[in-house]
Amino acid sequence: QLILDTLEKSSPIHDTRTLTIPGQPSPAASADAQITILGALNSLLSREIIRYDTHETISHVLTPEGAQIVLEGSHEARVWAACPAKGEGAPISPGELKARVGDEAAKVGQGRAFKSGWIAKEGAGLVKLVGSIVDTTQLQLREVDSTGTLEGGEKLLAELRKRKLIVQKKGQWFAVHKGSSFTTSIAKPETDLTVDMLTSGAWKTSTFKKYNFEADGIPTSGGALHPLLKVREEIRNIFLEMGFEEMPTNTFVESGFWCFDALFVPQQHPARELQDTFYLSDPSTSLPPPSDYYKRVSAVHVDGGYGSLGYRAPWSDDESRKLLLRTHTTASSAAMLYKLAARCRGEDIDDEGRVIGGAGKAREEGDDGFRPAKLFSIDRVFRNETMDATHLAEFHQVEGVVADRGLTLADLIGFMRVWFNKMGLTNLRFKPAYNPYTEPSLEIFAFHPMLRKWVEIGNSGMFRPEMLAPMGFPEGVRVHGWGIGLERPTMIRYGISNIRTLVGHKTSIENVENSPAVMF
Ligand code: PHE
């Protein structure tokens, strides 16, 4: 309103710093006042009530130390004031002076007061030399505070800047002209055209706020990878840079045959019971597995072979055909190994494991058909667990499998050392363990640098001949593997203590969006 009233009286306003707010003592010269004015100018500009030009200035503002001097006087003036007049009372000691004016003021102020001839030394103390002083520093700072500059000019300003009592500040001021829709009465413009305006006809006389096509929009939120996906990606890259190939793991539903029988897990094993494994009710049974292989597997379970006694327990076709949610990705590894051995068996098989080529076709004379392989998978598995802060009924397994002639336990340990090293776990220990499908088996413990303790991180072993021989691998081919969970390293990496914060409906989308890249 002040701008409009001033323009009405005499247009244009050459310099907004000369505007005087009625009833207020100082003119609108300060940088803050100009910022307020700019806001008003922009709102008037959008309605074409005014036009304006911007001019840049350099002005000065006080530092906190400068502001303190305006209130309390300069350091030198305070030192002078603290000293007794010459011949009146004992000279003030350095310690006393510090106590009275503070360390900083005593140090800086003494030098300046000496130089101005205000004080002198007497014995070990100080006394006043003159009866009155003019505190030029304080006066100059007062002037800067109210005008942003000094009449005395740049040299004096430069000295105050050097003393760190003032700093330069860029400022703006404006020249204002009447606009095409100039008026002194500013009605709040309408922002929306409403039904009421249309029916009453008020829209004809209303003023509308102009659209601001320059305005920044609301930031859009993009997609974000879940922490599990980030960790999965990093582990996948570790496998890939070591020359491993990813296995297909799209079979969440498996048969008892592939999840257990093929792995030489006895049909009576407790892991196969209802309280540990989820079974499907509809459909409840699988298609039959490849028949020759099925016969060899059931034979090794019941009667043994390849140097093994077998379990010598009854065999149930039904148990083998039960459909279930896979309890480990080793079920997929078994299917892949069976496929890898196809050429050793002299068969060609398609992606579903069906034989498509005749015996002997797949290989040349003197070739046993075996090709080494390094395989990995990272995918979901399911267990009928009691759920708590660290267990859900579904989680992810990471698994590496290596097949080659003459592999030893030392190769397995070596592979794992290299692999875990790449995840930042350099301190490993191996403990003998038991798996039905591996012998020997090793549990893996790592000294966790973030948790500062030994934690069990995985399981591994050399696959048994009872599993490999029925698949048709030639003698001398050894296969080893190791597995870890995906959730545990992810929770440790992101400092999450409850699994439900990571997976499920309680996951915080905000956490997911803000979680950093992994980098073990
Ligand atoms: N399948 C094992 C598990 O679920 C992991 C494992 C994989 C062990 C390969 C040995 C070899 O813990």
Is the bond preceding 248 in cis, omega lying within 30 degrees of 0?
no
Question: Where residue 452 falls among pLDDT bands split at 50, 70, 90?
Answer: confident
23-35: average pLDDT: 72
Which of 385, 391, 435, 457 should be mutated for ligand 1, with most atoms under 8 A from CB?
435
254 lines ligand 1 (CB under 6 A): no
How remote is the CA of residue 505 from the centroid of ligand 1, in Å?
29
Q: How many helices, marked H, and strands, marked E, lie in the chain? A: 19, 15
Which 3 state secondary structure label does DSSP give 247? coil
Task: Name residues whose C-beta falls within 8 Å of residue 451's C-beta, 6 or more positions apart in sequence.
Answer: 492
How far from chain centre, in Å, is Cα 140?
Answer: 51
Find, among 466, 464, 422, the residue nearest to 446 by Cα.
Answer: 422
Cβ of 140 below 6 Å from ligand 1: no
Q: State which of 330, 375, 379 you would mutate to test the pocket of ligand 1, scoring each by most atoms of that ligand within 8 A of its C-beta.
A: 330
Percent of the chain with pLDDT over 90: 62
Average of per-residue pLDDT across 351-374: 73
Residue 458 in contact with ligand 1 by CB distance below 6 A: no
pTM above 0.80, yes or no: no
What is the H or E stretch that residue 373 is in? strand 373-382
* pLDDT for res 304: 96
**Confidence category of residue 211, pLDDT binned at 50, 70, 90:** confident
Q: The dihedral of CA 328, 334, 335, 336: what is its sign?
A: positive
Query: What is the C-alpha to C-alpha distance for residues 37 and 453, in angstroms, rounded to an integer?
Result: 63
Mutate-to-test residue for ligand 1 from 244, 328, 374, 411, highest number of ligand atoms within 8 A of CB: 328
Residue 480 CA to ligand 1 center (angstroms) comes to 10
What confidence category does residue 26 fall into, taking pLDDT thresholds of 50, 70 and 90? low
The reply to whether ipTM tops 0.90 is yes
Lowest mean pLDDT among 18-22, 238-242, 350-354: 350-354
Query: What is the residue with the minimal CA distance to atom 10 of ligand 1?
Result: 460
Q: Give yes or no for residue 332 CB within 6 A of ligand 1.
A: no
Q: Which atom of ligand 1 is nearest to the CA of 438?
A: 10
pLDDT at 352: 66
Residue 288: C-alpha distances to residues 23, 154, 159, 254, 338 (Å):
97, 96, 95, 12, 15
Beta carbon of 444 within 6 Å of any ligand 1 atom: no
Q: Percent of the chain, pLDDT > 70?
A: 95
Centre of ligand 1 from the C-alpha of residue 437, in Å: 9
Q: Which atom of ligand 1 is closest in space to residue 463's alpha carbon?
A: 11
Selection from 3-12, 83-92, 309-318 with the highest mean pLDDT: 309-318
| Cβ of residue 480 lying under 6 Å from some atom of ligand 1 | no
Q: Does 76 contact ligand 1 (Cβ within 6 A)?
A: no
Residue 135: the pLDDT is 94
CB distance 377 to ligand 1 below 6 Å: no
Q: Does the Cβ of 483 fall within 6 Å of ligand 1? A: yes
Distances (CA, A) of 349 to 335, 336, 354, 426: 12, 11, 5, 41
Q: Which residue owns the Cα nearest ligand 1 atom 8?
A: 460
Ligand 1 centroid to 483 CA: how many Å? Answer: 5
Mean pLDDT of the chain: 90
Ligand 1 centre to CA of 459 (Å) is 5
Average pLDDT over residues 184-197: 87
User: How confident is the model over 230-286, as pLDDT tens digits?
Assistant: 999 999 999 999 999 999 999 999 999 999 999 999 999 999 988 899 999 999 999
Taking only the tens place, the pLDDT of each residue in 100-143 is 898 888 988 999 999 999 999 988 899 999 989 999 999 999 99
Residue 360 in this model has a pLDDT that exceeds 90? no
170 - beta bridge partners?
A: 58
Which of 337, 380, 382, 399 to probe ligand 1 with, by most ligand atoms within 8 A of CB? Answer: 399
Per-residue pLDDT tens digits for 470-505? 999 999 999 999 999 999 888 877 888 888 888 888
User: Which is the closest atom of ligand 1 to the Cα of 480?
Assistant: 11
Strand, helix or coil for residue 300: helix
Q: Is the CB of 438 under 6 A from ligand 1?
A: yes
